[in-house]
Chains A and B, each alone.
Chain A
Amino acid sequence: MPTTFKQIAAILNPPAPHMVGDGFRVHNFFPSGYKINMDPFYLLDYNAKIEFSARKHPRGVGVHPHRGFETVTIAYHGAVAHHDSAGNSGVINPGDIQWMTAASGILHKEYHEERYSQKGGPFQMVQLWVNLPAKYKMTAPKYQAIEHANIATFKLAEDSGVIEVIAGNYQSVKGSAFTYTPIELYNIRLKANGKAVLNTPEHYNTAMIVIEGSITINDTEKIDTNQMVHFNHTGTQIDIGSNEEAIVLFLSGAPINEPIAQYGPFLMNKPEELEQAIEDYNTGKFGYLEE
């Protein structure tokens, strides 16, 4: 079969940033920044690299609930400490991934990790909201803490760099995270003049963000740091060449194609399920977590 290159639908600049709590300065690429269909991914907040000054009391986001989906936090610079109402806690360090399945409901808080906060320095992260199909929305919450040292990694040919397979499969390497629907999520770390070839099914919704450096896609389009590329459905192959040392976050997934009802931190199928989520949160059914 001849190679069919996936066509670029749009090259997107980061939308104007807003603060989430006082700890995250994020560019919301979707759903509000750009109206692109990225189902099963519902939201992508990108904290482009910024310097936070040193501070004794860590910046962050206080206690808040989630229901009906998963939050996936991918750290590049800086560190975040989290705690939840199920008693879990941990630190997300650079290179780590935290895959939190909120499902039926959890309360959590996310603050800059104490030592990072006291020193200050560069901070760069992505948070994705991955939707769950209706039949999994009310299952028990869980965590997958994936440390950088343990991520399933594919070494690219000609010493080009590596692909960290967070979820899905890259050639023979199976991703570290369990997912409820088919998802490909990779951190592609390329050396200067490195090359990587990606393949993803036509019907998957697909995008990538250039976290560091700059790349050329399919030998034609140059993409700079902090830009997102959204792909069309036609074609399956994407060639990436790095113009300098680069990091690219690649996301691609099979659409869930179910109705969406969203309010604040809840992502359900029907409006009445949102009302139920609000009532359950208000009456303590998500548990309790100290501020």
Chain B
Amino acid sequence: MLEKFQSYLKQRLAITDEQAQEATSCLQTKQFKKGSILLRPGDLRSENYFINEGLLRCFSIDEKGKEHIIQFAPENWMISERNSSVFKEPSIFFIDAIENTEALIVPSHFFVDIQKLVPHILELNILMLHNSIRFMQKRINMLLSATAEERYLDFIKLYPNLTLRVPQWMIASYLGITPESLSRVRKDLAKKHFR
């Protein structure tokens, strides 16, 4: 249950097997049924989720009832709502399960506690945060300037198998385009590449 998260940490934080085991020993896994909502706007919860199996997503709903997907989190991804998990402010996003999911509940103090165990971790932790910021910068730029096709091609590099796991409209929602325009992109690609 903890092995996946331990290798996730080892890949990023240069810690030993023993340190990874000790750091994660108190963490708990939870099962979420497809469709269940883990976090709602207004909720206060200092939890992050690491996905062992399944698929979570973070999204908002606008005044017209339209969903906007901020992030998908398949296996080996972490997902958090920072307002709630870090700043102790009410959440502004939803997190729900798109598939039956087994996730590790990682409390926010985990990343503080682990510093006591592995002193050099602060530096690496900061690098991880910068990496997230870099990712967000790229995502903003994509949403502001890229064509629908460029967004889609970037998406399939990041999440190759999600096209088989989530409906088209969710991918369109993540990309900030209409489902019709996603269909057009896929149709154009097929015209270019089909045999």
Within 8 A of B (CB), among A223-277: 263-265, 275
Among B6-14, B120-128, B184-192, the stretch in contact with A: B184-192
Closest beta carbon of chain A to B22's beta carbon, Å = 33
A-contact bits for B146-169, CB 8 A (1 contact / 0 none): 000000000010001101110010
B163 & A282 in contact (Cβ 8 Å cutoff): yes
A278, CB-defined interface residue at 8 Å: yes
A288 & B190 in contact (Cβ 8 Å cutoff): yes
A283 & B189 in contact (Cβ 8 Å cutoff): yes
B181, CB-defined interface residue at 8 Å: no
B160 & A291 in contact (Cβ 8 Å cutoff): no
Query: In the bound complex, how far is the Cα of B184 from the Cα of A290, in angstroms?
Result: 10
Q: Given that A282-B156, A283-B156 are contacting pairs, would A265 and B164 also be in contact in the complex, using a CB cutoff of 8 Å?
A: yes
B193 & A284 in contact (Cβ 8 Å cutoff): yes
Q: Give the dominant DSSP class at A's interface.
A: loop
CB neighbours of B161 from chain A (8 A):
263-264, 278
Neighbour of A288 across the interface among B164, B165, B168, B186, CB < 8 A: B186
Neighbour of B183 across the interface among A278, A287, A291, CB < 8 A: A291
A46, CB-defined interface residue at 8 Å: no
A284 & B186 in contact (Cβ 8 Å cutoff): yes
B194 & A288 in contact (Cβ 8 Å cutoff): yes
A42, CB-defined interface residue at 8 Å: no
CB neighbours of A283 from chain B (8 A):
156, 189, 193
In this complex, which of B164, B189, B191 has the most chain A Cβ atoms within 10 angstroms of its Cβ? B164
CB neighbours of A285 from chain B (8 A):
190, 193-195
B160 & A287 in contact (Cβ 8 Å cutoff): no
20 contacts between A and B (CB under 8 A): A85-B194, A263-B161, A264-B161, A278-B161, A278-B163, A278-B164, A279-B156, A279-B160, A282-B160, A282-B163, A283-B156, A284-B187, A284-B189, A284-B191, A285-B195, A286-B194, A288-B186, A288-B191, A291-B168, A291-B183
Residues of A within 8 A of B (CB): 64-65, 85, 263-265, 275, 278-279, 281-288, 290-291
Please list the 10 inter-chain residue pairs (A to B) with the smallest Cβ-Cβ separation, ordered nearest first: A284-B189, A284-B190, A288-B190, A282-B156, A284-B193, A287-B194, A264-B164, A288-B187, A285-B193, A278-B160
